[in-house]
Chains A and B, each alone.
Chain A
Amino acid sequence: MAILSLSAKSLLNRRATAALTIFTIAISVALVLGVEKVRTEAKASFANTISGTDLIVGARSGSTQLLLYSVFRIGNATNNVSWRSYQKIADHPEVAWTIPMSLGDSHRGFRVLGTTQAYFEHYRFGGKRQLALEQGERFDDLFDAVLGADVARTLGYQLDDPIVVAHGLGREGFSQHDDKPFRVAGILAKTGTPVDRTVHVSLEAIEAIHIDWRSGSKVPGLTVSADEVREMELRPTQITAFLVGLNSRLGAFRVQRFVNEYRGEPLLAILPGVALAELWALMGTAETALAAISICVVAAGLLGMATMLLAGLSERRREMAILRSVGARPAHVAGMLVAESVFLTAAGIVVGVILAYGALLIAQPIVDARFGLFLSISAPSSRDLTVLAAILVAGAIAGLIPAIQAYRRSLADGLVVRN
C-alpha cells in the first residue's frame, strides 16, 4: 500500500509528463477499440447483408465477383443471364421462389436495380428480416421507384418526387433516360445493407427505358415516349443475376449442380454463406494488417511511457536513496516504477475508452452516410475487455524496463547518490 500511495503521489508531482503519457496511451487504446469496432461491425454488417437465400445465380465468372455485384452492388457482371434460362431454372421443381435482378443503370451515384415484387416478399437480411417500407408503397406503376433509405436521405427525396435514371454507372457524365422519368413511390426502412443505397424499379421499367437503346447507346432517330411504351409488351430478354430460394435447403447442392451443368449457357450458382466466408477470408488480410497496426501503435505508446519513466530515473536517484534510507528495499523501488506504469496505463485505458466512444458518437452518422456502415454504440464486448486487460498487462511489463533499471541503480547508489 505504501508503494501504491507513493507511486500515485509521485505521478501527481509529475502531472504534465504523466498527462502526456496518458494521452499517448489513450490515443492508442482508442485506435485499437475503433479498429475492433469497425472490424466487428463490418463483419456483422457483411454477414447480415443477405440471408434466407439458398443460391445466387449469374453468368459464369468467379463466385466472389458474382457475390459482389449481385449482393454488394460492387463491380459489374461480365455477362448476363438470358430470360429463357432464368425461367427454366425458376421452374425447377425444387425452386420455391426467385428474385431476378437487372443491374447496370444508376441514379446520381446510386445503383438502380430492376426486379420484381418477389424482391420485397422474399429478400431477407440480418437474420431473416424482411424489407419494410418506411413511406409509400412498392412499385406498381411502370415508372414507380422505391428508394433505399440512404438514397432518400442523402438526396433529400420525398414521395412523388421525380427522378431520372442514368444509363450506366457513375455519378455524372452519362446519358440520361430523361425522357422517361420515374416517380418515388416508396422509401424503404433502413437495413444497414447495400439495399439502403439502391434505387429499385420493376424489370419492365428497365426494359422500358432501354426500348429505344441498342448496345449501350440511344438509337438515332428512334424515340419511344413514356406513354407509348406503356402500351408495349415489356418482357425482359436478359437479367444480370437472380436469387433462388429452395423448398428445402437439402436440395441446394443438387440445384447448384443443375445450374453449373446447365447446357443452355455458362452459368454459375453459388451458396451465399460459402461465398461470404470466402470473401471475408480475402478481407482477412486487411483485418490482420489493421490489427498489426493497432498492436504497433499500442506498443509505441507503452514504450513511450517506459522511455518517460527511464528518462526520469536520473532525476529521481536521490528520491530512491531517501526511500532506501527509510527501509524501502530495491524491490520496493522497482515495484514503485511498475505501479506507476500500471497507473499510467490504466488511466490511458480509461481516457482511451472515453475518447473511443466520443469519436464513435461523432463518426457514427458520417460513416453511416458515406460507407453505409452503421457503428452501433454498445458496451465494450468481452473481446474488447480482453484486449484492454492485455494492454494493462503489457503496460506493467513495459514498466519492468525502468523498474529493473531503478532496482540496479538503487542497489548501486545505496543511501547516498554517488555521481
Chain B
Amino acid sequence: MIELSDLLFRWRADDPPILDIAGLGVEQGERLFVKGPSGSGKTTLLNLLGGVVTPQRGSVSLLDTEMSTMSGARRDAFRADHVGFIFQMFNLVPYLNLVDNVALPCRFSTVRRERAIERSGSVEDEAIRLMRQMTLDIAALGGRAVAQLSMGQQQRAAAARSLIGAPELIIADEPTSSLDAESRGAFLDLLFAEVAAAGATLVFVSHDASLEAAFDRVVALSDINRADAQIGAD
C-alpha cells in the first residue's frame, strides 16, 4: 500500500534534512500509529505521503504508484482520488454547510464521486449516510453554520469527509488532540469501524502514546528517522 525507501527530505537545499528514512512499508487495510513529539517531522511525512512535496532522494510509493516522479498536477489528482485527510482542527470550510463539507472531495475527484454515487445513488446521499454512520444528526445539525458545531462533531464530519468516495488511504494528523477523553474514545471507535468497512488503510499520526494500543502497528518516527535536524520540522 505504502512503500517508503531511502527517503531524504529537506525544505531548502542548504538546510539540514528533516527526514531521512531507510524504509517503511504499510500493508493494505493496516492501521498504523506513527508517534513522535512536536517537531519530529510528522507533518512533513504527511505532506510527502499526500504528494504535496517530493523528496530530494528516494521514493514514495502509494498503491504501487511512484509519487516522487509525478508532476505536481498528477500528484494533486492522485491525492484527490486515493487519499482522505483528517486534521487536528479547522477541518471544515466555514462557508460550506455540513453536507457540502463532507461531499467536498467529490468536487475534485471523479473517481470518488462515481464511487459515492455507486454506493448511495448521489454524492449528497452518501455524505448523509456517512454522517449518520459517524452519529451526526443531520436533521439537527444540517442547518447550522459549521463553526457552531462542537469540536467532536467537526472531527466526526472531517472523518466522514475523508471516507467519502472510499479512498484507499486515510491519513489522520492528530485528529483527537482537541477532544476530551470520552469523545476521543468514541471518535476512534467510529473511525476504526468505518475504515474497516471501507477496507481502507489508516495512517494515524499523534504524540499521544495512550492511543497506540488500539492500532495494528506502532512506529516511532524517531526510530526510523536518521535525520537529527528536527527542530521546527512541524
Binding partners A and B: yes
Please tell me if A254 contacts chain B, counting CB pairs below 8 Å: no
Q: Is A415 an interface residue (CB 8 A)?
A: yes
B161 within 8 A of A: yes
Chain B contact-residue range equals 20 to 34
* Chain B residues with CB under 8 A of A329: 72-73, 76
Which residues in window 32-87 of B have CB below 8 A to A? 43, 46-47, 50, 52-53, 72-73, 76-77, 79-81, 85, 87
Is B93 engaged at the interface, CB distance under 8 Å to the other chain? Answer: yes
The 8 Å CB contact of A416, one of B72, B87, B93, B95, is B87
Knowing A327-B80, A329-B73, A415-B47 are in contact, say whether A2-B93 is a contact too (CB < 8 A).
no
Residues 304-330 of A at the B interface (beta carbon under 8 Å): 318-319, 321-330
Cβ A325 vs Cβ B90 within 8 A: no
**Which listed segment binds A: B1-9, B102-110, B132-140?**
B102-110
Within 8 A of A (CB), among B94-150: 94-96, 100, 104-105, 107-109
Give the distance in Å from the alpha carbon of A322 to the alpha carbon of B91 in the complex. 7
Q: What is the CB-to-nearest-CB distance from B91 to chain A, in angstroms, rounded to a whole number?
A: 7
**Cβ–Cβ < 8 Å partners of B104 in chain A:** 322-323, 326
How far is it, in angstroms, between the C-alpha of A13 and the C-alpha of B109 when the chains are bound? 25
A12's contact among B87, B95, B161, B234, by CB below 8 Å, is which? Answer: B95
Assuming the contacts A2-B107, A324-B52, A416-B43, asked whether A319 and B93 have C-beta atoms less than 8 A apart, the reply is yes
Q: How far is A322 from B107 in the complex, measured between Cα atoms in Å?
A: 13
Does A10 lie at the interface of the complex (its beta carbon under 8 Å from any beta carbon of B)? yes
Q: How far is the CB of A2 from chain B (nearest CB, A)?
A: 4
Q: Which residues of A lie under 8 Å from residue B95 when comparing CB positions? A: 9-10, 12-14
> When the two chains form their complex, are residues B52 and A328 in contact, meaning their CB atoms are under 8 A apart?
no
**Which chain B residues lie closer than 8 Å to A168 at the CB level?**
none
Of the candidates A5, A13, A327, A415, which one forms a contact with B108 in the assembled complex, judged by CB atoms under 8 Å apart? A327
Provide the bound-state CA to CA distance between A329 and B109, in Å: 12
Question: Is A414 interfacial (CB 8 A cutoff)?
Answer: yes
The interface residues of chain A lying within 8 Å CB-to-CB of B52 are: 324, 414-415
Residue from B93, B161, B173, B234 having most chain A Cβ neighbours under 10 A: B93
Which of B50, B77, B107 is close to A325, meaning CB atoms less than 8 Å apart? B50
In the complex, chain B residues whose CB is within 8 Å of the CB of A326: 80, 85, 104-105, 107-109, 161
Q: Is the CB of B161 within 8 A of A319?
A: no
Contact B108 A322 (CB under 8 A): no
With both chains docked as a complex, state the minimum distance between the C-beta of A78 and any C-beta of chain B, in angstroms: 71
Please, which residues of chain A bring their CB within 8 A of the CB of B87? Answer: 321-322, 325, 415-416
Category for how many chain A residues contact B: 20 to 34
Residues of A within 8 A of B19 (CB): none
Q: How far is the CB of B146 from chain A (nearest CB, A)?
A: 11
Residues of A within 8 A of B77 (CB): 327
A-B contact count (CB 8 A): 77
Q: Would you give the shortest CB distance from A419 to chain B, in whole angstroms?
A: 11
The verdict on A319 contacting B94 (CB below 8 Å), with A327-B105, A328-B76 known, is yes
In the docked arrangement, what's the CA distance between A331 and B47, Å? 18
Residue contact B53 to A414, C-beta cutoff 8 Å: yes
B93 near A323 (CB under 8 angstroms)? yes
The closest CB in chain B to the CB of A1 belongs to B107
Task: Report whether over half of chain A's contact residues are helix, strand or loop; otherwise say mixed.
Answer: helix
Interface residues of A in 284-341 (CB under 8 A from B): 318-319, 321-332
Q: Is B80 a contact partner of A416 (Cβ separation < 8 A)?
A: no
Q: Does B92 contact A (CB under 8 A)?
A: yes
**Cα distance, A10 to B93, chains bound together (Å):** 9
Contact across chains for B79 and A416 when beta carbons are under 8 A apart = no
Give chain B residues whose Cβ lies under 8 Å from the Cβ of A418: 43, 234
Contact of A322 among B43, B81, B93 (CB under 8 A): B93
Decide if B46 touches A322 in the complex (CB within 8 Å).
no
Shortest CB distance A321–B (Å): 8
The answer for the CA separation of A414 and B11 in the assembled complex, in Å, is 12
Q: Is the CB of A415 within 8 A of B46?
A: yes
Q: How far is the CA of A326 from the CA of B101 in the complex (A)?
A: 10
Measured between beta carbons, the chain B residues less than 8 angstroms from A10 are 95
- CA gap between A184 and B10 in the complex, in Å: 95
How far is A326 from B100 in the complex, measured between Cα atoms in Å? 13
Residues of B within 8 A of A331 (CB): 73
A93 CB, min distance to chain B CBs, angstroms: 83
Contacts of B43 in A (CB 8 A): 415-416, 418
Assess the B81–A416 pair: CB atoms within 8 A. no
Kindly report which residue of chain A lies nearest to residue B173, judged by CB atoms: A416
Contact surface of A with B, Cβ cutoff 8 Å: 2, 5-6, 9-10, 12-14, 318-319, 321-332, 414-416, 418
Having A13-B94, A14-B95, A415-B85, one finds 20 other A-B pairs with CB under 8 Å, namely A6-B107, A321-B87, A322-B91, A322-B104, A323-B93, A323-B104, A325-B87, A326-B80, A327-B77, A327-B80, A327-B105, A327-B108, A329-B76, A332-B108, A414-B52, A414-B53, A415-B47, A415-B52, A416-B47, A416-B234
Between A and B, 17 residue pairs with Cβ closer than 8 Å are: A9-B95, A9-B96, A10-B95, A13-B94, A326-B85, A326-B105, A326-B108, A327-B80, A327-B81, A327-B108, A327-B109, A328-B76, A329-B73, A330-B72, A415-B85, A416-B87, A418-B43
In the A-B complex, the 5 residue pairs with the closest CB atoms: A327-B80, A13-B95, A327-B108, A2-B107, A414-B52
